[in-house]
Chains A and B, each alone.
Chain A
């Protein structure tokens, strides 16, 4: 579903728990986990997809298996206000240069905050059942709601 969205080639490339299991003598002391492979000085200046995330960083893992409803994004209505990007608690809104690109379904848990904060009419993000087809969802997108006259 996220094919073609910037940076997805490194996101969610493995199932959570698929990492190699080692014995007590090889686990890290204090369950300390490296976020990146190698020196990460100034890594903050790199875009997420350019960073060398370690296997124990959830960036490379699929951690959304318990989602039962999902947000679907409609590019035709979106005004790139970035509200959803700001509010998403799991950094699952993919945006570049203030342009909304899509949803990271490997990390989105389906909380619906993005839909709540979307200000357009109709909304550019709506929640659908996990099993629903995104193309069908977009085809049946609701029309602009007219304001009721007083």
Chain B
């Protein structure tokens, strides 16, 4: 039996430590991991809990992140509760195996500390790795601060392991701004946390010798499509399970989370949509602008996949809403940012049909300030007053050099 870890009612934890404590409390059977900045302390923490008797599990050292996720898949197929952590290049190296985990319906939890992708090599936080994972078939939850990194990691096990879901779950937090920022975190006691997560119930486990099974079969044109359709439905339908688990978490802790967080949207005229640690910055900007008479609101998808078209649509369907800017913290690679595309799709069927523009920002950890958030919200106010988008539809925030922008429209 694992020893109980003594915790204060309020701890001062950074996002990494918060996530590693959640992994310990969930009593992971296997962590197969390879270190990479800035996520290393998560698995380092788990390793120390194993060594010191605070968790009854196995730490498997592997030769790469490809090996790490492969090891996780093997352990999960064998019938264990499994988790690991990674960032950036490590995430990219895992990419092939991420699709295997979701296709094999293994509820692995991957704590991703978001970091830019090379080249140029960069260790700071942007959302390139999170965006890289968005078609991989995983559920993607986003934590905006260390408390949420802890809470979302605990919820991730409940969601992924739910019998109607059985899909892997990523819990994202921003590199350094969340992972290395120490804040007050209110943890659960070990027994309370474990009771919330519950005992792991294996499905089709390879260690069940009364029922040998094949995992990872090959399917060609006669079977592949049906399996992918079934997998997609499970991911889309996980929305209700996510709502249910977040509801139970609120009943236990008083901390309320939704698939889409909204701030001041009830009567908003202008709004920003964004993810991660920038959300708190934007909320402060909205509050300051409201004091100046601009009705600003913020929409923050907590759940990036399955994308919450339903709740984003609800958030946008405010009669007063005129202009919205989607903020993408990832180099868009020849397209509009992903949030712009998803949110535009959700907005298309609303009655308010706000003007929607796109900013790329914060690449490679470039700071995103309250002042900049206010400037962009004021720009949305100018769009609203003019009745059309007065700038290029896609712009870059906080980049040196001449203004960079793409596509224009005069349409209201």
Residue from A24, A31, A43 whose CB has the most chain B CB atoms within 10 Å = A31
- The verdict on A27 contacting B223 (CB below 8 Å), with A32-B204, A32-B215, A33-B217 known, is yes
A29 touches B230 (CB 8 A): yes
Stretch at the interface among A34-42, A88-96, A99-107, A112-120: A34-42
Query: Does B121 touch A at the CB level, under 8 Å?
Result: no
For A56, the closest partner residue in chain B by CB is B214
Query: Does A4 touch B at the CB level, under 8 Å?
Result: no
Contacts of B215 in A (CB 8 A): 30-32
- The verdict on A24 contacting B233 (CB below 8 Å), with A17-B222, A30-B106 known, is yes
Of A24, A25, A34, A41, the residue contacting B213 (CB under 8 A) is A34
Contacts of A40 in B (CB 8 A): 209-212
A32 touches B226 (CB 8 A): no
Of A30, A32, A39, the residue contacting B210 (CB under 8 A) is A39
Contacts of B219 in A (CB 8 A): 31
Query: Does B229 touch A at the CB level, under 8 Å?
Result: yes
Please report whether the interface of chain B is mostly helix, strand, loop or mixed according to DSSP: loop
Query: Does A21 touch B at the CB level, under 8 Å?
Result: yes
A128→B240 CA distance, assembly (Å): 61
For A30, the closest partner residue in chain B by CB is B105
Contacts of B229 in A (CB 8 A): 24
Contacts of A35 in B (CB 8 A): 212-214
Query: Does A23 touch B at the CB level, under 8 Å?
Result: yes
Query: Does B227 touch A at the CB level, under 8 Å?
Result: yes
B103 touches A21 (CB 8 A): no
Contacts of A32 in B (CB 8 A): 104-105, 204, 213-215, 217
For B205, the closest partner residue in chain A by CB is A32
Contacts of A41 in B (CB 8 A): 209-210
Query: Does B115 touch A at the CB level, under 8 Å?
Result: no
B226 touches A30 (CB 8 A): no
| Size category, B interface | 20 to 34
B104 touches A30 (CB 8 A): yes
Contacts of A33 in B (CB 8 A): 213-214, 217
Query: Does A131 touch B at the CB level, under 8 Å?
Result: no
Q: How many residues of A contact B (CB 8 A)?
A: 21
User: How many whole Å from B25's CB to the nearest CB in chain A?
Assistant: 27
- The verdict on A22 contacting B166 (CB below 8 Å), with A31-B216, A32-B213, A40-B209 known, is no
Write out, one digit per residue, whether chain B residues 115-157 have a CB within 8 A of any chain A CB (1) or not (0).
0000000000000000000000000000000000000000000
For A34, the closest partner residue in chain B by CB is B213
Contacts of A17 in B (CB 8 A): 222
A30 touches B212 (CB 8 A): no
A27→B103 CA distance, assembly (Å): 13
For B167, the closest partner residue in chain A by CB is A30
Q: Which of A34-63 touch B at CB < 8 Å?
A: 34-36, 39-41, 43, 56-57
Contacts of B104 in A (CB 8 A): 30-32
For B218, the closest partner residue in chain A by CB is A31
Contacts of A39 in B (CB 8 A): 210-211
A104→B20 CA distance, assembly (Å): 52
Residue from A23, A30, A35, A57 whose CB has the most chain B CB atoms within 10 Å = A30
For B204, the closest partner residue in chain A by CB is A32
11 contacts between A and B (CB under 8 A): A21-B222, A27-B223, A27-B226, A27-B227, A30-B103, A31-B227, A32-B104, A35-B213, A39-B211, A40-B212, A56-B214
B contacts, CB < 8 Å to A = 103-106, 166, 203-204, 209-217, 219, 222-223, 225-227, 229-230, 233-234
Question: Can you add 17 more A-B contacts, CB < 8 Å, to A30-B104, A34-B211, A43-B212?
Answer: A24-B225, A24-B230, A27-B223, A27-B226, A27-B230, A29-B105, A29-B204, A29-B234, A30-B106, A32-B204, A33-B213, A33-B214, A35-B212, A35-B213, A35-B214, A36-B212, A40-B212
Closest 5 CB pairs of A and B: A30-B105, A24-B229, A24-B226, A33-B214, A32-B204
